Chains A and B, each alone.
Chain A
């Protein structure tokens, strides 16, 4: 077999797993320097930041009377969360049901993107021909807002919910493909030489060289994909209307329930944070496995 690589990604060393360094909302609090006092201080400053956010919100609602104040938003949040899963027909569901529908769409589209994107990324990153054929296509389609695909999927599926899933698929596809390709293209030269000299077959190369080197980048790609997918689902559901948290936001706007809109923003943000932390943990585990053996 021949082991080649997409030249533009060819570097001597594999990219280090940046999942260990990338900041999240919690990383300032987590950073273990200085012990308990420092930790308390960090949490204190986090509260200061949140207080500034609340103050700006308060100011905004004072300047624009249509906007709810933080107190009204939080009261609405409490109200929504106190009975999240009620179901009075298609036009009156609890916010929890909307969230579940959105999560389901995101995970379905995301899983499809992973199933397609990881093998495609490995192919593009690990083979010269794959790079030459795949890279222009990816670079052409990647800058397109995933929402532009909505009409295409709608005409194919005739179903806004399904079309939303496919939009998420497109959303999550590019970061997964590109990161996987970057990881697969950055196999250290000495590992490639080992595979060449000892004449590793296709499967041995895949298992022992390509996949282990690509894995940290794959997880980074999945984490990016999930982050963007969670943003895009809200937009696409505002477009499609009906069920889902984005639909809920649009519906609330149309019924002039701005407190529900602000409450939904808080819910969306919290869930996005949780998803991100989950993937960060996964990435850390993948990276640490290598270090600890």
Chain B
């Protein structure tokens, strides 16, 4: 699914503060099958951009097109993994995934949905824990459930909002691996848009990295292509010269923005 963003503007009225334009004219095209990371300091509008693409908010100006159609709200062609897992606390893991899949795809026969739900819960290693409630499981398990929930919708555009930010390093590494495997082999999910503040995570996972910044810089400072072949291995990737140069470039851009902010 091709995502085209044209001249996107969005601002907020801060409490006890001036009106702040968070997205100052964003143009971005994400090709079908691409994995794109949005990176930047907090407040740069990367999550806002994701919410606009999800249809949770409306832009002040500009358009978002999915396969040449303007989006005007949430749709089953998109699914999201939220930063704080956002599972419904009273439902079992199974019911969390199943209810979302059914709601997003009401036309799909129930048996088919149940099949898909079982497949993704198994893929993230949670099928035997399916009857537990969110309060009974770890953050890593909760986020795996949220990943299974998003995949079970079979979206064509997967939106990830700092999905691994709250997890410890080992869990994060395992989940990144699972995500890439699901994306590459398990699913027809074709396009991924991921918000992150982890440089290494972005370089490891993305085909392209969109660097965003606070005023006075433009919203999108630079777009970097990662010329590293897949499958990528988190251990050997650091030996790739492209890894180091991309990392350094990102660090320079983000440090420059931090200097602006200060």
Contacts and interface: CB of A to CB of B under 8 A. Distances in A.
B74 interface: yes
Interface in B85-111: 86-91, 95, 99-104, 106
Contacts of A212: 88-90
A208 B91 contact: yes
Interface stretch (B37-45, B120-128, B131-139): B131-139
Given A190-B84, A191-B86, A293-B133, A201 B106 contact: yes
B88 A209 contact: yes
B76 A199 contact: yes
25 contacts: A190-B84, A190-B86, A193-B56, A193-B82, A194-B82, A194-B86, A194-B100, A197-B79, A197-B80, A198-B74, A198-B79, A198-B100, A198-B104, A198-B149, A199-B75, A200-B99, A201-B103, A204-B102, A208-B99, A209-B88, A212-B89, A290-B89, A290-B135, A293-B132, A293-B133
Contacts of A293: 132-133, 135-136
Given A190-B82, A212-B89, 13 more contacts: A190-B86, A191-B86, A194-B86, A194-B88, A195-B103, A197-B78, A198-B103, A198-B153, A200-B100, A200-B103, A201-B103, A208-B95, A291-B135
A5 to B, nearest CB: 14
A204 B84 contact: no
Nearest to A207: B99
Nearest to B54: A197
Interface string A183-213: 0000000110111111111001000110010
Interface of B: 54-56, 74-76, 78-80, 82, 84, 86-91, 95, 99-104, 106, 132-133, 135-136, 149, 153
Nearest to B88: A208
Q: Is the interface of A mostly helix, strand, loop or mixed?
A: helix
A290 B103 CA distance: 23
B152 to A, nearest CB: 10
A191 B55 CA distance: 16
B190 to A, nearest CB: 18
A265 B186 CA distance: 71
Contact of A197 (B74, B99, B132): B74
State which size class the interface on A falls in: 10 to 19
Interface string A262-293: 00000000000000000000000000001101
A193 B103 CA distance: 13
A193 B86 contact: yes
Interface of A: 190-191, 193-201, 204, 208-209, 212, 290-291, 293
Contacts of B88: 191, 194, 208-209, 212
Nearest to B91: A208
**For the complex of A and B, 8 pairs with smallest distance between CB atoms:** A293-B133, A190-B86, A198-B100, A212-B90, A200-B103, A198-B104, A197-B80, A198-B103
Contacts of A290: 89-90, 135
Contacts of A193: 56, 80, 82, 86
Given A190-B86, A196-B74, A204 B99 contact: yes
A204 B90 contact: no
Nearest to B80: A197
Contact of A199 (B87, B103, B149): B103
A23 B132 CA distance: 32
Nearest to A212: B90
Nearest to A200: B103
A293 B136 CA distance: 8
A135 to B, nearest CB: 23
Contact of B56 (A196, A200, A201, A204): A196
Contacts of B100: 194, 198, 200
B149 to A, nearest CB: 8
Contacts of B75: 199
User: Which among A196, A197, A200 has the highest number of chain B CB atoms within 10 Å?
Assistant: A197
Contacts of B95: 208
Contacts of B136: 293
Nearest to B152: A198
Contacts of A196: 55-56, 74
B13 to A, nearest CB: 14
Contacts of B90: 208, 212, 290
A98 B136 CA distance: 50
A275 to B, nearest CB: 28
Contacts of B80: 193, 197
A194 B102 CA distance: 13
A208 to B, nearest CB: 5
